[in-house]
Amino acid sequence: MLIPVIQRTGTKPSIDLSVDLAGIRLANPVMTASGTSGYGPEHGKLMDLSRLGAFVTKAISPEPRKGNPPERVVETAAGMLNAIGLANIGLEQFIQEKAPYLEKLGIPIIVNVVGRDADDFIKVCARLESIECIAAFELNVSCPNVSGGLDFGADPKRLHGLVSAVRKRVQRAKLIVKLSPNVTDIAVTAAAAVEAGADALSVINTLCGMVINVETWKPMLANRTGGVSGPAIRPVALYMVHRVYTKVARDAHVPIIGMGGISNWRDAVEFLLAGATAVAVGTALFVDPRTPIQICEGLTEYLTRRGLSSVRDLIGQLR
């Protein structure tokens, strides 16, 4: 009788995808980008969300918002333009209907927060901080599609004031500031956010853009202008991660979540090399909601091929 020979050579070295994001342990560096996964259940029907490094919610404001009229989205070359207008169910309905679902996922939850003034931001953060699974708040100071959204993000003084005010009222959860690319030098707003006490930076939100219908002479979006996302903005986003990392974040030991057109593991590796500790997937989820899992699998293969044992060996290693 033949005894089967066990192929020892087939054993894979274990690859560690975990990262530390300002004290939050992520099992892998891949998360969702705010506003691209609904509140969780919508995406959870299509992918096992517990396999994410973290889940980032749609923006939550104190009161419900209906958002912009349609059309809200149009495809552009290698990207898309959107103006959803921060449509959301509001703080109380989020707590009642969505938080219990997110608690069951067993992964860190990051709530994206939006408001007209500092009091709005504080109201949402203070009310949600007692929910244990919420590891961090991502302050949305950079939405280009609502009045008041971009104002905070483009002015370093106002940004500093907002982040400091929220910082004083948030004890346990970490504060992430989502930076706008619609500025002359993103390092200036990054420095303001860090000085005011941001624990991490999301780089970048969408770029302001528009598309015009040449037959009707009207904008394609009802909101007239929108935010551009997708592969078209990836080189811009990558540059901005590089700039924030080298000018501000590296020395301040503040981690960056890189985002902007990331669609596959190669894109993720580029952002990690440029200085991001984690990456967020947005527009690519609309094409394939399972993209985060594919990125994790691709990262594992890549690290194996490169003889590396941890994804942390990539962070900021740009030559």
Partner 1 sequence: MQVTADTCAIFHTATVVANQALCREHYRLTLRVESFAPSLPGQFVHLCPITPPPGAYPSEPVGDGPVGNDRLSNASRPLLRRAFSIAGLRNAPSGVHLDVMYRVVGSATRWMESLAEGDSLSCMGPLGNSFPIQERRPLAWLVAGGVGLPPMLWLADALHRSGKNVVAFCGARSAELLALTLDPNQPPDHSARRATPSALEFARHQVPVVISTDDGSLGFSGHVGLALAAYVEANRTATDDVVLYTCGPERMMDSVAAFCRARKIECHVCMERAMACGTGMCQSCVVPVRDEADSAGWRYRLCCTDGPIFEAQRVIWKPIGAI
Query: What residues act catalytically?
Result: 143
By CB under 8 A, which span of 20-28, 78-86, 151-159, 251-259 interacts with partner 1? Answer: 78-86
Among 18, 23, 25, 50, binds partner 1 (CB under 8 A): 50
Asked if 287 interacts with partner 1 (CB under 8 A), we say: yes
Among 28, 34, 68, 206, binds partner 1 (CB under 8 A): 68
Among 286, 304, 308, 312, binds partner 1 (CB under 8 A): 286
Q: Are strands 200-203 and 256-259 parallel, antiparallel or unpaired?
A: parallel
Asked if 268 interacts with partner 1 (CB under 8 A), we say: no
Among 165, 210, 222, 236, binds partner 1 (CB under 8 A): 222
**Do 147 and 135 touch, CB atoms closer than 8 A?**
no
Closest to partner 1 by CB, 131 vs 222, is 222
- Helix runs in 104-256, H state only: 118-128, 149-154, 156-169, 186-195, 234-244, 250-252
Closest to partner 1 by CB, 173 vs 269, is 269
Total of chain residues touching partner 1, rule CB under 8 A: 49
Asked if 309 interacts with partner 1 (CB under 8 A), we say: no
* 62 C-beta neighbours (distance < 10 Å), count: 19
Closest distance of CB 187 from partner 1, Å = 26
Asked if 47 interacts with partner 1 (CB under 8 A), we say: yes
Find the radius of gyration of the CA atoms of the chain.
20
Residues 224-263 touching partner 1, rule: CB under 8 A, are 230-231, 263
Asked if 169 interacts with partner 1 (CB under 8 A), we say: no
Asked if 195 interacts with partner 1 (CB under 8 A), we say: no
**Do 244 and 256 touch, CB atoms closer than 8 A?**
yes
Among 26, 56, 80, 190, binds partner 1 (CB under 8 A): 80
Angle between helices 186-195 and 156-169 (to 10 degrees): 30
Task: Show the tokens assigned to 183.
Answer: 């500025």
Strand order across the 55-56 sheet: 30-32, 278-281, 256-259, 200-203, 174-178, 134-140, 109-113, 55-56
Q: Give 10's contacts (C-beta < 8 A, 6+ positions apart).
A: none
Run of H or E including 137: strand 134-140
User: Residues interacting with partner 1, by CB under 8 A?
Assistant: 35-38, 42-50, 58, 65-75, 77-80, 82, 84-85, 87, 104-105, 222-223, 230-231, 263-264, 266, 283, 285-290
